A and B are shown apart, each in its own frame.
Chain A
Amino acid sequence: MIRWFYKLPLRFRSLFQKSVVEKELTEELQLHLDKLTEEMRAKGMTPEQARYAALRELGGVEQIKEECRDMRRVNFVENLVQDIRFGFRMLAKNPGFTALAVFALAIGIAVNTAVFTAFNSTALRPIQAADPDRTVAVYRSAIGDESGGAVSYADYLYYREHNRSFAGLFAASDTEVSLSDLGGVGGGNAPSGGITALLGIRFFEQMAGTAEIGRAAMVSENYFSVLGIPPFMGRTFAAHEPFPVVMLSYNFWERRFRSDPSLVGKTLKLNGKPFTVIGITPKDFIGTYPNAPSVWLPVSAFRLLEAARDPLHNTTDRCCEMFGRLKNNVSKQLAQAEMTVLAEHLRRSHPTGSRNDQPATISLESASPFHTPDNPQAIAMLAAFMSAVGLVLLIACANVAGLQLARSAARRKEIGMRLALGASRGRLIQQLLTEASLLAVTAGGAGLVASWFAERFLENSVAAALPPVWGFLAINVNPDIRVFGYTLVVSLVTGILFGLAPALETTNPNLTSVLKEEGAGFTGKLRGQRLRHFFIAAQVAICLVLLIAAGLLARGSARAVRLDPGFETKKILALDFEVPPGLGYDAAKMADIVRRMVDRFKAVPGVTQVAEGRVPLGGGLRSTKVYLDPSARQSNAPAPELYYSYVSPNYFQTLSIPIVRGRAFTEEEARASAPVTVISEATAKKLWPAQDPIGKRVTLDASKQYHGSDEPFPSGQAFQVIGISKDIRSAWLNEIDPGLFAMPLPPTRYIETIMIRADNDPNALTAAIGREAKAIDPNVVVYAETLDGLVTMNPGFVISRVAAVFSAVIGLLGLLLAAVGIYGMVSYAVVQRTHEVGVRIALGAARGDVMSLILRQSARPVAVGLLIGLVASVAVSRLLSSLLFGISSLDPVAFAGVSSFLMFVALVACVLPARRATRVDPMVALRHE
């Protein structure tokens, strides 16, 4: 509109060239005044009289000026600027208050922003495609079919050829591959640092030199062209690739090959077959997968990688999910209808009775890999998270409101004066809210940065710790415009939340009471005091429970590392074999490979023993039903379930587990798979109390228990007890195995872990061991870890350590918030009682008396909170006892240490503001009246 052409420059002039505009206004009015004076003189007045008459006629010059300023309509903006300036001055005047409030609010805002960022970078993330709005997932759903909408490759080809709705339709599947002959730089995992190192948790590391296992995305050749994603380097797949080709994900290329650009054109071996590298996908490109795979392959590569599976021709193998890009003029409904018709055509072509014979419909969904189609659980979880962090923010707000109240009580005189001088209440509230919002927005900025750093740190450490076979984490937690907007809105709402109540209270137009310094009497009965005290007590109690739990868990997990599990841990290297599914190795072949490896390893210098069997504390220990009377097996009578393990004869010697009675088995017994067993002391006590177990027979049956398909397991045979071994902790670090049978490992079977005993540091052996393993079979993936390290992977340890850190973090943040609350409460009390304190001092009270008076009254809610917290902690810690590794659930160190720490923090929060009371000058305080 044309008027803006005149209006805008004026607004800017009024705002930014204020002095010029003011001068012009003065000049304009002066001219008028002079003219009026002239006129009056013409009527015959003296100059003096004329001037007064003119002034009378015109009215108050300053009022006119103010009215003109109002007309310029920038008053609101000017006021705001003025308020912001004033607000900054007020905040800078009380740096302690400002820092405390910003800090407390930043905690609240940071946790909210963090949760929103996580939500934003997953659920709200659009698919990475040139046209994300028209790129859709194509789900086939049939009654009673829970396969998640996948179709066979042949069906995919049918849809692709016959549909007219899509500009392109592509298929996606995935599998694991073993990568060998990679050469180049470094082995498997990058050194895991960050949070896992902080927690003291380790992950199995892949051995350098052996095959590596990776995640392979299997896609139709048109995948990248339909999505419209160009490669980072090289090219994407062409329609018919005559030779086996592979693309690497940027993330894998970066981590495994240190971004070596010469890799394109070279050859890699996947499951033992050579593939030429033709390109690198863009950084963090995940396409339709939840994270970035190691390699991208055309679906046709299934033929080479997994010959036995052959999903390309097997119409019952629903290997593929379909995705497509809609043509520009085709609606979703139309495409859905067309595809459903095609599905009906296809149904008739399938043999009756097959899974594909059901009437099916096709629906189009969001192609984003994080899309959860109307999942009420996901929504409920998000809601739960949001309300939890919302609650944290509310607590922060309440504490800062207490602080604000204390401060505005100190400003009551100032505000009362302004009201008396005619400032409108709305104007004052606007000013107080501006101050509160300033605080909140500053805190919002700090919170945003804090949550960004925290999430970056978490993401990087999780990404570094994940084994490549799980894919590469490619979640972008950098704040975008949505996150900025969210944080800003949350900050402003926060500002109003904690600022409004104090603003309303202090601008209460009940002027007289304000100027009379409302009865901050000797009674100590202050408005809202009880609620504030209750609130403080509750916070103290909750923090105490969390921190005591953290203390107990931290001490428990520290104890766990020093615990003697009953076997040698320092000198043992545990190997874990993994066979990629595509290789088609059976149990006999793997048993042969493992035996040959064991023989080769024995010859490595520095190796003293190599034993086969499940590694203690390595997980996967199986259990069996135990019958002392063989006939009880048929009667289905309840039988105890105890652990069993198949091991090589030198197992006990290798791990330094003493045989206390009888003997271990011999090589001959192992070769013959003799039905003999060595039991642990606990087993002996449980099954044959007060009897000699040696020579006794026991029937074991694990056929109805869980076990791997290629594993040896007892299936109803009777075993003769030939020895008793000392008790160890092999299933759980926190308890001695309640029962354990060791049986000789048959020659045709294998267990996927072995233990190598070194005469010195086992870590020094890994390079040589890796070389030997590769020489036997380059496609078998080998992980290595010392038994010491395995202790820190034991679930008991991990749970207690992670729980310790989490409850410590939450507890400490809570404690900081509570400290802010206590500080605010005491400050408020001090301000309100300034007069009283003045009287007391004037009447001869010592400063120390005043201090202890204030402290005594403030300490009451803290003490109540501590008491409740201690009682609750006793109840909670009993639940934790299984994670404490022998530390008492009433451990005095944790209880006393944490309580006194909390008391100390509370005391500091009390003393700092209470000191102000002792500095009250009685004359000043009394003159307040």
Chain B
Amino acid sequence: MSKPTDLVQGTLDLLILKTIALEPMHGWGIAQRIRQVSREVLQVNQGALYPALHRLEQSGWIRAKWGESDNNRRAKFYSLTPAGRKYLEQEEANWKRLSAAIGLVLEMS
């Protein structure tokens, strides 16, 4: 297995949004989930995760609620706001268009 890829700036937002689209999650959980789902390819820089979460919260895409984590500790759970859900769809579509385009370019040449 090669070295985990550094996340491209901007894609972290998309990953976070997608991850919490299913259910509210806390920071640790989000980091774990991204790692698992990407089969350990994407290693979230843990230091960068929290500023990103705070930025998304301040932008109104996600909101935070305090709840109980698996071992009865207080934890901050993030979930999508309606505006965030719309934003995610948009970004997803953008991403797909972009990666399709890049794929095309790579195949052609």
Contact = CB atoms under 8 A, between A and B. Distances in A.
Asked if A and B are interacting partners, one says: yes
A202 to B, nearest CB: 71
B75 A64 contact: no
Interface in B25-58: 26-28, 31, 45-47, 50-51, 54-55, 57-58
Interface in A10-49: 10-11, 24, 27-29, 31-32, 34-36
Nearest to A32: B28
B50 A64 contact: yes
A6 interface: yes
Contact of B58 (A24, A57, A73): A73
Given A31-B73, A71-B58, A6 B50 contact: no
Interface residues on A, range: 20 to 34
Contacts of B59: 3, 7
A27 B69 CA distance: 13
B47 A10 contact: no
Interface in A581-625: none
B81 to A, nearest CB: 6
Nearest to A7: B60
Interface in B70-85: 73-76, 81-83
B63 interface: yes
Contacts of B81: 2-3, 6
Contacts of A5: 60
A57 B4 CA distance: 14
A4 interface: yes
A73 B55 CA distance: 9
A685 to B, nearest CB: 97
Given A2-B82, A28-B76, A58 B60 contact: no
A761 interface: no
B57 A10 contact: yes
A58 B49 CA distance: 10
A64 B51 contact: yes
Contact of A71 (B26, B55, B69, B74): B55
A58 B51 contact: no
Nearest to B66: A24
A64 B47 contact: yes
B46 A7 contact: no
Contacts of A482: none
Contact of A58 (B46, B73, B74): B46
Contacts of A71: 51, 54-55, 58
Contact of A4 (B54, B60, B63, B75): B60
A5 B60 CA distance: 8
A73 B56 CA distance: 12
Contacts of B26: 28, 31
B54 A68 contact: yes
A825 to B, nearest CB: 49
Contacts of B51: 64, 67-68, 70-71
A74 to B, nearest CB: 9
Contacts of A4: 60
Contacts of A29: 50
Given A2-B83, A3-B83, A71-B58, A63 B47 contact: yes
A68 B50 contact: yes
Contact of A36 (B46, B57, B76): B46
A60 interface: yes
Interface residues of B, number: 26
A67 B54 CA distance: 9
Contact of A72 (B28, B47, B54): B54
A59 interface: yes
A143 to B, nearest CB: 68
B89 to A, nearest CB: 15
B54 A60 contact: no
Contacts of A72: 54, 58
A733 B60 CA distance: 82
B75 A6 contact: no
Nearest to B56: A71
Q: Which among B31, B51, B54, B63 has the greatest number of chain A C-beta atoms within 10 A?
A: B54
B86 to A, nearest CB: 10
Interface in A261-290: none
Contact of A31 (B28, B55, B82): B28
A117 to B, nearest CB: 44
Interface in A60-110: 60, 63-64, 67-68, 70-73
A63 B46 CA distance: 12
Nearest to B55: A71
Nearest to A74: B58
A73 B54 CA distance: 10
Contacts of B82: 2
A27 B74 contact: yes
A58 B45 CA distance: 8
Nearest to A66: B51
A468 B78 CA distance: 77
B3 to A, nearest CB: 15
B106 to A, nearest CB: 34
Nearest to A73: B58
B46 A32 contact: yes
Contacts of A31: 26-28, 69, 73-75
B69 A6 contact: no
B6 to A, nearest CB: 14
B83 to A, nearest CB: 5
7 contacts: A6-B83, A10-B57, A28-B27, A29-B50, A59-B47, A60-B47, A67-B50
Query: Would you list the 7 A-B pairs with minimal beta carbon distance, nearest first?
Result: A59-B47, A3-B60, A67-B51, A71-B54, A6-B60, A71-B55, A68-B54
Given A6-B63, A28-B50, A68-B51, 12 more contacts: A2-B60, A2-B81, A3-B61, A6-B83, A11-B58, A24-B76, A35-B28, A58-B46, A58-B47, A63-B47, A64-B51, A71-B51
